[in-house]
Amino acid sequence: MTQAAPTPAPGPRYTRLVAELPASVPFVGPEAQERAAGRPFRARLGANENGFGPSPRAIAAMAEAAAGAWMYGDSLSHDLRNALAAHHGCAPENVIVGEGIDGLLGNLVRLVVAPGDRVVTSAGAYPTFNYHVAGFGGELVCVPYRGDAEDPQALIARAAAADAKLVYISNPDNPMASHHGPQVILDMLAAVPPGCVMVLDEAYIEFAPDGTAPAIDPDDPRVIRMRTFSKGYGLAGARVGYALGAPGLIAAFDKIRNHFGMSRVSQAGALAALHDQDWLAATCAKVARARARIEAIAAENGLGALPSATNFVAIDCGGDGALATRVLHELAARAIFVRKPSVAPQDRCIRVSCGPDAELDALAEALPDALAAARG
């Protein structure tokens, strides 16, 4: 007598990969923390948003586009892609627009990483990239920071040894705000092993010293450069990122991307923001002043601030990761939202985003008591 097949358990039959993934997300947003605490933050200084806001032209363009929100956005982001190509001196075929750098990273990993493929990054670098690699079954190979900065030579050496499909570096870096000069990045690119693509995340490039961005041939198939409207342009909530790369790689995104992922409102806002470079320059000046203010607040409390080429500052709390975590929690108890690196020894720091004077005033008021409580 044949035995009946077992009845499947109710509910979805997840893939083995998904079933084995941890139930975690890269970041817990400030809104979730506010709901848990039952009150809003006085200072939102943890997500590296641009608290100085977007160009008024971008706001006006988005308001006008909102009346057409009943229509899908242009699936090719034609106007924005062409404007970005003109801005960067390349062809539209070198540009892909997507739902922030996070969305583009997810698509890139999906394009090239199969279960078991190796990907190289720095231990403690941007966790959302790691999240995508894990989600597609890739094997993450990490190298340590060197002197609170990513180590390009070590990344390339490990990529060659591991036969990696991708090697990731952010310049300037998150979470430490350090940066490398253009020749360092060009030397890294020259050494990319065959069959590997360098992912150059330049989310914070607008805040870096002039000349930080290297001159790279947009048709170079060894690299893809990630840029965003979330930071310098102040449009984090609009979710507009873009990548610059060789036409073949850019065209491959069309095989798997969400073709209607970009709303009309977001495209209009980004296009108007791109055309207001004066506002971007004024914002970068405000960020520079805010960096100096954060450094001064740290010094007033006997703490050291690491040099920053971004819109945030890493503050060394003078101990280990446990102390920095206590400082972070004590600041949150005083309604100040900041974040911190996750991997030692960088986890000895807290990371404070640049923001308007009122929010930095709140930080200056809360930090002495938070430090005392954390140390006590």
| Residue 95, domain CATH | 3.40.640.10
How far apart are alpha carbons 244 and 218 in whole angstroms?
A: 7
CATH code of the domain containing 331: 3.90.1150.10
In this structure, the answer to whether residues 216 and 308 fall within a common structural domain is: no
Q: What is the DSSP letter of 346?
A: G
**What pLDDT, on the 0 to 100 scale, is given for residue 268?**
98
- For the residues 256-280, what does the mean pLDDT come to? 97
- For the residues 112-141, what does the mean pLDDT come to? 96
Q: What is the dihedral of CA 104, 290, 233, 96, to 10 degrees?
A: -20
Residue 128 has pLDDT above 60, yes or no: yes
In this structure, the answer to whether residues 156 and 256 fall within a common structural domain is: yes
In this structure, the answer to whether residues 43 and 73 fall within a common structural domain is: no
How far apart are alpha carbons 307 and 314 in whole angstroms?
A: 8
Residue 4 in domain: no
Residue 226 has pLDDT above 60, yes or no: yes
In this structure, the answer to whether residues 227 and 129 fall within a common structural domain is: yes
In this structure, the answer to whether residues 84 and 40 fall within a common structural domain is: no
Q: How far is CA 108 from CA 99, 197, 198, 256, 257, in A?
A: 13, 10, 11, 9, 9
- For the residues 188-203, what does the mean pLDDT come to? 98
What totals of helices (H) and strands (E) does the chain contain, helices first?
13, 12
Residue 320 in domain: yes
CB 201 within 8 A of CB 168: yes
Burial of 165 per CB tally in 10 Å (0-12, 13-18, 19+): buried
In this structure, the answer to whether residues 105 and 183 fall within a common structural domain is: yes
Where a domain ends, among 276, 309, 332? 276
In this structure, the answer to whether residues 100 and 245 fall within a common structural domain is: yes
- The pLDDT tens digits of the residues spanning 29-74 come to 899 999 999 999 999 999 999 999 999 999 999 999 999 999 999 9
Nearest to 202, CA basis, from 174, 161, 176: 174
Higher pLDDT: 219 or 18? It is: 219
| Number of domains making up the chain | 2
**What pLDDT, on the 0 to 100 scale, is given for residue 2?**
63
Residue 233 in domain: yes
Q: Pick the range with the lowest mean pLDDT from 22-31, 48-57, 128-137.
A: 22-31
Residue 166 has pLDDT above 80, yes or no: yes
Residue-number span of the structural domain to which 198 is assigned: 56-276
- For the residues 148-176, what does the mean pLDDT come to? 98
Residue 9 in domain: no
Residue 8 has pLDDT above 90, yes or no: no
In this structure, the answer to whether residues 364 and 304 fall within a common structural domain is: yes
How far apart are alpha carbons 230 and 135 in whole angstroms?
A: 24
- For the residues 239-252, what does the mean pLDDT come to? 98
Residue 126 in domain: yes
- Buried b vs exposed e over 104-124: b needs ≥16 C-beta within 10 Å? bbbbbbbbbbeeebbbbbbbb
In this structure, the answer to whether residues 164 and 83 fall within a common structural domain is: yes
Residue 24 has pLDDT above 80, yes or no: no
Where a domain ends, among 276, 306, 322? 276
Secondary structure class of 283 (helix, strand, coil)? helix
